[in-house]
Structure 1
Amino acid sequence: MAGLSKSVLLVACCCLCFLSVSSLIERLEHPVKDDGSLSFMVIGDWGRKGKYNQSQVALQMGRVSERLNIDFVICTGDNFYDDGLTSVNDPAFEKSFSKIYTAKSLQKQWYNVLGNHDYRGNVEAQLDPILGSIDRRWICKRSFIVNTEIAEFFFIDTTPFVDKYFLNPKDHTYDWRGVLPRKDYLSKLLKDLELALQDSTANWKIVVGHHTIKSIGHHGDTKELARQLLPILEENNVDLYINGHDHCLQHMSSTSSQIQFLTSGGGSKAWKGDFDELNRKGTKFYYDGQGFMSVELEQSNAKIVFYDIFGKRLHVLDLFKGVYSAM
């Protein structure tokens, strides 16, 4: 009997190891402050070698980050325009990242997801740990979880969900290594995410992706994510969905769940006046200029602030578990 028990235990352990290794979502850990709180910046659609006010946004990010003593930075994708990186030696990495975000307060971990423009280049280059040796702040993975004591952050690779990149790529070439066959990849990714959300006991559940789910901006709603991803988020009590893709700052509330949809895609080039005036249901704030976002988290409350390129507060969202107010 003892031998049989050991054999069963060994098989069980092997199965658990296999499940862990085979998951598409890697798990990372990040500490909170001594008082148990957490603060971070969010920026998206930024990599233009300082142009289109990228440098000005970086300057103000540094000032706000110093004031908040941030723990890390979240990037919502489209990290390098127009066509990602060519290799790990591409000078765009330093010209658009290392030499732009130079403030002492921004020398923290940067958690990056891929955007559609990143997929037009060498995706493996952005994912390569070599970039982390060039600039220790850089972490970029397709999908991953950052676990903290009060929140779990679920970073999701959204580009492969979008049909037009496969069916109508126009003049662009996309690097689909690692995501084909597409149907299998997406099915497993959604299942892994669903299981991770179900298992999560975090006080705050925050999902980060490049593409919008709900937006009145240029791109509007991403129908593939609304159909495939949103139901999983709603069923598992996700608090925030944070994205880029639309080059604006935006806050929309779900009309069917507690989810707040937050767009921070104003890291450089913005699209002035390009929004859908008729699709305003749930819209609490929209700004068609450059800027960024800060988040302060505690056990039962969160404070989210949108800023322009002058560091001016444009919109403040105070969240309490189950209730929110926006100013």
Structure 2
Amino acid sequence: MFKRLLIATALVLSGCQGGSDEIGSGGGSSGGVVRFIVLGDSGAPPESGDVAKIVEKVCAQRGCDFAVGAGDNIYDQGADSVDDPIFQSAFEEPYKNLDFPFFMALGNHDNSNSPLGGGGTNERGDHEVAYTAKSSKWTMPARYYTQGWPRGSSKPVVELFVLDSSPITHFFNDLNPAWNGANLETYIAEQKTDMQAALAASKATWKFALAHHPYVSNGMHGNAGNYEGGAQPDLCALAGLISPSCRGADYKLFLEQTICDKVDVFFNGHDHELYWLKPVASCGKTHHILSGAASKHRSIQDQARNEAFYQVGDTHGFFWVELRGNRFTGAAYRVGAGGIATDVDDKGEPKPAFEMSFTK
């Protein structure tokens, strides 16, 4: 119910506040300016620590109020419990020098019953929700939720709509009856209704959605509606063994009925590259930024599948975003082995591999 979403939002607003004087804070939001980091597929140390080193430098240079995590927070199959030490190695240790909140979404590996990451054990994702109460920065008050910034504002600069995409796109059916059949359909329908209502009520200047699975991608997993269509092997072709949801056709419709043309940018992971893809007609004005290289990377599969402002594979990296009035600026940073910035200025400091702005 929408009430559940409102409760989730209230928990975020009253939760950990982060710092304003530590590395990356940039002194906090000022004059309506908001800055944040976009990380996806970050759950595999030690590579995540390499990326975190450059995040620290960029936040010290340019300022950061918070980070968003686009799922696959813990490889390869999530956490066994809220007390699993993997939370320390996969999250707390890599980001120990960053004192601001991380607003997290769930990915397929976070809910997995095997290292294949095909979903099927959603209770593992619930451990990540519960971990919010144990961490000073990890923030996931519910499997899906909204978050405004600055916190507590009746008209925030930005509002983030965090989706739970894995139950809509799973490979393997969850054997728990609470996550199967009619119960699963009810959960998906409630999430859709809640997000539609939250977006309609939002008074934020900027509206962003965050989910692990993309609407469009030029990587191995591909576009919603045809996920895995070009992958080798194509696991979705195993008829009778794999859920038909794995193609993402239901998810594509879900997105078109909730966030498409209603949010300014849709942030994702899942494919392990960096993309800023142009808006597509079926999703209206919405830009698509995929930042899935925070601990893993792959090659681009099809550069021509969707038109891109920027795309790069075979590198770790992340995006930094600044909102200043009606201007959005996004910058992509590449990271090499050992936490060395791939692109540097004449002082040896990290510089963007790509940076672009648009206004609304």
| TM-score normalised over the length of structure 1 | 0.81
Report the equivalent of 2:136.
136
| Residue 276 (structure 1) shift | 1.5
Which residue identity lines up with residue 146 of structure 2 in the other structure?
I
| Residue 277 (structure 1) shift | 3.6
Report the equivalent of 2:160.
153
Structure 2 distance, partners of 1:146, 1:243, is: 16
Structure 2 distance, partners of 1:198, 1:304, is: 26
Contact 2:126 2:143 in 1 (8 A): no
**282-291 vs 151-160, which moves further:** 282-291
Structure 2 distance, partners of 1:76, 1:138, is: 13
Contact 1:25 1:143 in 2 (8 A): no
Structure 2 distance, partners of 1:49, 1:175, is: 30
Contact 1:207 1:241 in 2 (8 A): yes
Report the equivalent of 2:329.
303
Structure 1 distance, partners of 2:80, 2:178, is: 14
Report the equivalent of 2:356.
317
Q: Does 1:232 align with 2:264?
A: no
Contact 1:120 1:174 in 2 (8 A): no
Which residue identity lines up with residue 196 of structure 2 in the other structure?
E
- Secondary structure of the residue aligned to 2:55 is helix
Structure 2 distance, partners of 1:232, 1:119, is: 23
Q: Does 1:269 align with 2:267?
A: no
Q: Tell me: CA distance 1:277–1:138, structure 2 relative to 1, closer, same or farther (3 Å).
A: closer
Which residue identity lines up with residue 256 of structure 2 in the other structure?
L
Report the equivalent of 1:62.
56
| Residue 132 (structure 1) shift | 3.6
In our comparison, the structure showing a higher alpha carbon Rg is 1
Structure 2 distance, partners of 1:228, 1:152, is: 20
Which residue identity lines up with residue 198 of structure 1 in the other structure?
A
Which residue identity lines up with residue 56 of structure 1 in the other structure?
D
| Residue 34 (structure 1) shift | 3.1
Report the equivalent of 1:284.
309
- Secondary structure of the residue aligned to 2:310 is strand
Identity of aligned residues (%): 26
Equivalent of residue 37 in structure 2, options 35, 41, 57: 41
Contact 1:54 1:267 in 2 (8 A): yes
CA deviations 1:107-154 (Å, max 9, x no partner) are: 11111111000001622221114x543x31111231111112211110
- Secondary structure of the residue aligned to 1:154 is strand
- Secondary structure of the residue aligned to 2:61 is helix
Contact 1:78 1:118 in 2 (8 A): yes
Structure 2 distance, partners of 1:194, 1:179, is: 23
- Secondary structure of the residue aligned to 1:128 is helix
Q: Tell me: CA distance 1:295–1:174, structure 2 relative to 1, closer, same or farther (3 Å).
A: farther
- Secondary structure of the residue aligned to 1:229 is helix
- Number of equivalences: 288
| Residue 99 (structure 1) shift | 1.2
Aligned CA-pair RMSD: 2.3
Which residue identity lines up with residue 38 of structure 1 in the other structure?
V
Which stretches in structure 1 are left out of the alignment for 5+ residues? 1-18, 167-172, 322-327
Greater percentage in strand:
1
Equivalent of residue 293 in structure 1, options 319, 327, 330: 319
Structure 2 distance, partners of 1:174, 1:145, is: 29
Structure 2 distance, partners of 1:84, 1:176, is: 20
Report the equivalent of 1:260.
287
| Residue 67 (structure 1) shift | 1.7
Contact 1:45 1:247 in 2 (8 A): yes
Contact 2:2 2:194 in 1 (8 A): no
Equivalent of residue 3 in structure 2, options 17, 21, 29: 21
CA deviations 1:139-185 (Å, max 9, x no partner) are: 1231111112211110010111115333xxxxxx7878567611111
Contact 1:179 1:185 in 2 (8 A): no
Which stretches in structure 2 are left out of the alignment for 5+ residues? 18-27, 114-123, 150-155, 226-248, 336-340, 342-349
Q: Tell me: CA distance 1:175–1:86, structure 2 relative to 1, closer, same or farther (3 Å).
A: farther
Equivalent of residue 95 in structure 2, options 101, 120, 127: 101
Contact 2:125 2:143 in 1 (8 A): no
Structure 2 distance, partners of 1:176, 1:64, is: 45
Structure 2 distance, partners of 1:152, 1:24, is: 13
Equivalent of residue 213 in structure 1, options 209, 212, 215: 215
Report the equivalent of 1:164.
171
